[in-house]
Each structure stands twice: as structure tokens, then as C-alpha cells.
Amino acid sequence: MKVTLGFDDTDSPLGNCTTHLAFSLLSILKEKGWKPLDFPRLIRNNPNVPFKTRGNGSVALTFLVPSSLNFEKIHNELSTWLFNRTADHEMTNPGFILLVGELGSELSSFAQRALIKVLTIDETISLLDHPSVYYSFKGTGQGLIGSLAAIGNELKNDFTYELLAYRIANNRGTKRRIDRESFIRLDDSSFQTFSSYDSDTGRIASVPNGPDPVLYGIRGESANLLISANSVIKQLEKIEGWCVFRTNQGTDEHLVNAFPSLEPYEVSLIEAKVVNEPDIIAGGHTILTLERSSDGSQFHALAYEPSKSFRSTVKELRPDDRLIVGGSIRGVSPSELPTFNIERLDVIEVAPFSRLVNPPCPSCNKRMESDGVNAGYKCKKCKIKDPSATKVPVFESRSLEKGRYLPPIGAHRHLTMPFSRYDLAKQKKTYSTPQWSDFLSIDFSHANKEHVDFE
Ligand SMILES: [Zn+2]
């Protein structure tokens, strides 16, 4: 019998981590003799959902188990175990689902919508109200949405892997000790990793900040190669172990599903025309007004200060340039127009652009000065006055090139496909049913041996 466990929103701004709970839970289920049917899946959903913690990542685990098991008891024991380890924080509203068998095609459509929209608890519960589903939650139950979306997203098209290594309990909250060189070299070696190092900012993108238990996460195209890559990373800290997840990170799966929406919090892909020259606003962000091609409605588009080189591209945009912008509408707009955070920019057409400047002096060719309101222009040097002269257009040379622009790696969303994956993503990917050792390594001399009794 196939069973799938899904859980989400177990972390908080203070620590904990949904993937680390998956790591511990996997060690329990391995002990029980459950047979994995897939790698653990780490699913990133709409990154703009309000009330999420960090990356809006949820986990699904799929197994083959004897149909004689008492699934209700298993659900009760595992959800108790999980919720006992969940952060007690108002931002943390965990959900846990155990699905026996399949749930039908509605489930995958739910999972596709979770990538781009803000789904409600009510529609989630209406799907969960099914004889083969056991579920439980704490707080608002927000976590049920991601849990169900993770179960429903079987990554049938493009996918990647991430190997996450976990810190021992005593080290959490302290500065991470890592060998920078190991990560800087990684993406240039033969392990097919990506987004390990952000050369624009010098930041090791594989290593998070903050109190969560992840020491580092390396992303790549192949689970086997990630395990090989991990073996060449110089370990400066003891780890509890590592786990390889199959994931939609780096696949643009949200943008593939997006519509030209201007609704708050939705992922959106909009063809638009530039209306005005970009402005720099407080905080150093770059803002410009765009007009949606489909209906002429206007919105503001923002490039964030940390996105450095990307921001300078946005600064080069001029009225009438044609674009396709991928990203999302902010919940609360700082202006009267909806405000769009740009995550990906396609420049489709670079329009000629001229500015009106004072006319040149007919004698010395320098720019003349105004001789007063509606009084024409004068050249002080040549003592020439021309009462009928008007401003003249001067065309700006446009160095902006057509094509795709992305923020630097360090400013990417988890879902954003980096340039380094563009060719690989076109190839059809497959994977075979993994053995435990294909994705899990746990060192019980450093990690707690967990046990849940449900036999
Ligand atoms: Zn002159």
C-alpha cells in the first residue's frame, strides 16, 4: 500500500526547520522497515504568501507499507511526535497529513495552484475530507495547505535535488564554521551543482544565516553526484547527518504556471510596456511604471536594492521598451498602483529614446540658454538671441540588449531557475525508486535516536 506523509509550517523565525523534522522522521520510519517509493520531496510554493516562515517549503514522504497497518494510530502517534517538536510561536501553524493510496486529479491541480496563488484553509479541508486521508493541525492550520500541496506535487516535469547537512544540537545558533573554498569551487567542478556561490556578492549561497539546524545545502541535478560532492566538502563542524531531497527549487515551476495577474500575493508573468523612466526610491530600490499589454492597466515594478547589477539593468529601461516581467504583486502597495516585485526580466524590444534639450547655438554649436519664459534662447558667448528657438530632441544611445535578466544568485527565490540550469532543464529528467542509502545518512553518535511506537 502506498502512503504519503505531508507536513508544513513547523519552523519559526526562532529556529527549527521542516526539512530537519523530515530527516528525524525518516530515521524513525527506516527503523520500522518502511520502503521509500521516492526521494523525500521538498516543495517550494508561492513565495509571496503572507504569514509564511522563510522559504515557504513543505515536505512529502512516500512509502510502500503493508496494508494491514493501523493508519489512524500511525497518524495520531506521528502527529503527536511532530507537533511536540514544532516551534511554539504565533507564526507557526503546522499541519500534518497522512494519505493512504491516491486522492485523484483534483490534488495535482491544487498543487499547481499553490505555486502561484494564496489558497484557503476551507478549500484545503474540503479536499482532505476523504476516507483515505488522516490529518491534524495546530493554530490556524495554515500548514495544511503546504502539506497537501507537497503531497500533490509529484515533480513530474523538471526537478532538482538538494543535499542538506544538519548541525549538531549544541552548535545551533552559533556562527557556522565552513570552508569557503569548498563551496566556491563546487559549481565549476563536475558534480553538476548550481547556485553554491554568488560571485556577484562573494556570498556562499549554500550556507544559510540564522538559528536553523541547516549547516549547508548543496543543490544539483543528480542525487548521486550531490553525495559525491558532499564528500569533498571539508567539514569544519560535526554534523548529525544529511538528507537528499527531490525538489522544485531552481525550476521556475511557479512562473511556468503563472498568469498576468495583478492580484496581491500572486505569482505573475506580465507582458508590459514601460511608461516612464526609472526612479530611485527610499532604500535604494529602483521603481518604474509599466502598462500591462493585455488591457493597458498600469502598475509599479520594483527592483530591490540587494539585487545590485540587476537594478542597474532596470535603470536602463526607457518609455516604450517592451518587457515580460516575472514576479509577484506585493500585498501592501507603497503607492496607489499595485506594486510588482521583479524576479525575472525579459527585454523584448528596446525603443528609441530621446530627451528634449536646449537648441544649439547656430554659431558656436554649444547649448543655448533660455532667454525667459516663451522668449526663446540666447548664446551668452556669441551674443546671439533666437526668440523662435525651441527645445530639440536628442536621441540617447541605448546600450541595453534584448534578452533575459536575473538578479544575482544570492537574491534568487528558491524557485528561480539560475542561468546555469537553462540547458539542463530542457532535457527530460527521470529517477528510479531510491534505496534509503540514496538519500539518508544519519550519525547517531551526534543525532538523537528518535522512536515512535505505533505497532
Ligand atoms: Zn554661440
Q: What is the CATH number of the domain that holds 296?
A: 2.40.50.1010
Short-list 5, 11, 148, CA closest to 93? 11
Q: Each residue of 181-213: pLDDT tens digit? A: 999 999 999 999 999 999 888 899 999 988 889
- Quote the ligand 1 centre to 386 CA distance (angstroms): 11
**Residues 175, 308 within the same domain:** no
Residue 385 Cα to ligand 1 middle (Å): 9
Residues 30 and 57 in one domain: yes
Q: Is residue 455 part of a domain?
A: no
Question: Does 46 score more than 70 pLDDT?
Answer: yes
Measure 353 CA to ligand 1 centroid, in angstroms.
27
**Ligand 1 centre from 358 Cα, in Å?**
12
Residue 386 and residue 296 in one domain: no
In a domain, 449, yes or no: no
Ligand 1 geometric centre to CA of 396 (Å): 23
Does 65 share its domain with 178? yes
Decide if pLDDT at 254 tops 60: yes
* Nearest to 242, CA basis, from 216, 205, 209: 216
Average pLDDT, the chain: 92
Q: Say whether both 70 and 158 belong to one domain.
A: yes
Residue 119: domain span: 2-251+417-442
Tell me the CA–centroid distance for residue 352 and ligand 1, in Å: 29
| DSSP codes of every residue in 112-124 | HHHTTS---HHHH
Do residues 156 and 61 both lie within one domain?
yes
Nearest to 19 by CA among 431, 455, 414: 414
pLDDT, tens digit (0-9, with 9 covering 90-100), for 205-226: 999 988 889 999 999 999 999 9
Q: What is the pLDDT of residue 141?
A: 87
Is 425 within a domain?
A: yes
Residues by chain with Cβ below 5 Å of ion ligand 1: 361, 363-364, 379, 381-382
- Is the pLDDT reported for residue 344 higher than 80? yes
* Assigned domain for 339 exists: yes
**d(CA 391, ligand 1 centre) in Å:** 16
Residue 49 sits in the same domain as residue 89: yes
Distance, C-alpha 133 to centroid of its chain = 29
pLDDT at 439: 98
pLDDT band at residue 342 under the 50/70/90 scheme: very high
Do 172 and 300 sit in the same domain of this protein? Answer: no
Span 228-240, mean pLDDT? 96
447 inside domain: no
Does a structural domain hold residue 452? Answer: no
- Ligand 1 centroid distance, CA of 368 (Å): 7
Please indicate, yes or no, if residue 204 is contained in any of the structural domains.
Answer: yes
Average pLDDT in the 389-397 region? 94
In terms of Cβ atoms closer than 10 Å to its own Cβ (0-12, 13-18, 19+), residue 306 is middle
- Tell me, yes or no, whether 54 and 192 share the same domain: yes
C-alpha 378 to ligand 1 mean position (Å): 8
Ligand 1 geometric centre to CA of 371 (Å): 14
Going from the Cα of 379 to the center of ligand 1, the distance in angstroms, rounded, reads 5
> What number is the average pLDDT over the span 434-445?
96
Same structural domain, 199 and 282: no
The CATH number covering residue 429 comes to 3.30.70.2200
Q: How far is the CA of 369 from the centre of ligand 1 (A)?
A: 10
pLDDT band at 454; cut points 50, 70, 90: confident
CA of 370 to the centre of ligand 1 (A): 13
How far from each other are the two terminal CA atoms of the chain, in whole angstroms?
Answer: 16
- The share of the chain scoring above pLDDT 70, in percent, equals 97
CA–centroid distance, 372 to ligand 1, in Å, is 17
**pLDDT band at 66; cut points 50, 70, 90:** very high
Split into its structural domains, the chain has a count of 3
Distance (Å, whole) CA 86 – CA 423: 40
Task: Give pLDDT tens digits for 83-137.
Answer: 888 867 777 788 999 999 999 889 999 999 999 999 999 999 999 999 999 999 9
User: Averaged over 143-155, what is the pLDDT?
Assistant: 96
Whether 366 is covered by a domain: the verdict is yes
Same-domain pairing of 180 and 50: yes
Distance in Å, CA 397 to ligand 1 centroid: 25
What's the pLDDT at 56? 67
Judge if 105 and 213 occupy the same domain: yes
Contact status, residue 229 vs residue 220, Cβ threshold 8 Å: yes
Single-letter residue type at 249: Q
pLDDT value for 428: 85
Q: Which residues, other chains included, contact 284 with Cβ-Cβ below 8 Å and sequence gap of 6+?
A: 305, 311
State in Å: Cα 354 to ligand 1 middle. Answer: 23
Separation of 382 CA from ligand 1 center, angstroms? 4
CB 395 within 8 A of CB 377: no
